[in-house]
Amino acid sequence: MAQVIFWVCAVGAVTSGIAVFRLDSMARATFALLLSFVFAAGTVFLVDLDYLAVLVVLMMIMEMVVMVVFMIMYMMNPGGLMPMTMVHNQKGAAAISAVVFVALTSVALLADWPERDDPHPADPTTSLGEAIMGSKMLVMIVVGLVLFTTIVATVVLATHRGRYDRYGERLERRRPDDPVEGGVSG
């Protein structure tokens, strides 16, 4: 069963990764990239690194959604949905990609990989966290919470009008009080 899940995730990650460059809008490409990362996180789940996999999924969802929101807000192309090309210098990019692919594949196939002598750790997530962060793990947890709080506060501060401004404090107005006629789904 694990092999079936791995191959579904691997093919899904590669397919949605290719879709990033084949789709003709920034918003669609962003969601294809999100899907590719979610499939990649599925393979991380398979090696019992649940925390890391959940972290990848949550980070990518937040990152891609924020990216789409900023695209919709600031791009001249509303919503990033108008056709555009996502690749520049296609021949050069294809040549570089082919060379890098061959080099990495040959390293992976021809390298003399070491045999594992130690037993697997009881909790691989904790071991990975200790190996990467050591004594700084608490600092990173706090930084993560501060970053999340900052994102939420920024979104709250950026939207100065909400449903209570538009429809009244008890939502009693039948028609919204919008400063510009034809506002949001009034």
Give the C-alpha separation, 124 to 42, whole Å.
Answer: 16
Give the C-alpha separation, 136 to 148, whole Å.
Answer: 19
- Percent of the chain at pLDDT > 90 equals 26
3-state SS class at 176: coil
Candidates 29, 35, 17; CA nearest to 82 is 29
Instruction: Report pLDDT digits (tens) over 8-57.
Output: 999 999 999 999 888 877 778 888 999 999 999 999 989 888 888 888 88
16 CB burial (10 A radius; 0-12, 13-18, 19+): buried
User: 84: pLDDT confidence band, cut at 50, 70 and 90?
Assistant: low
User: 174: pLDDT confidence band, cut at 50, 70 and 90?
Assistant: confident
Block residue for tokens 């919470």:
145
CA dihedral 128, 47, 52, 70 (to 10 degrees): 140
Mean pLDDT of 76-85: 62
Q: How far is CA 39 from the centre of its chain?
A: 11
For the cut 60, the answer to whether the pLDDT of residue 163 exceeds it is: no
Instruction: Report pLDDT digits (tens) over 143-154.
Output: 888 988 998 888
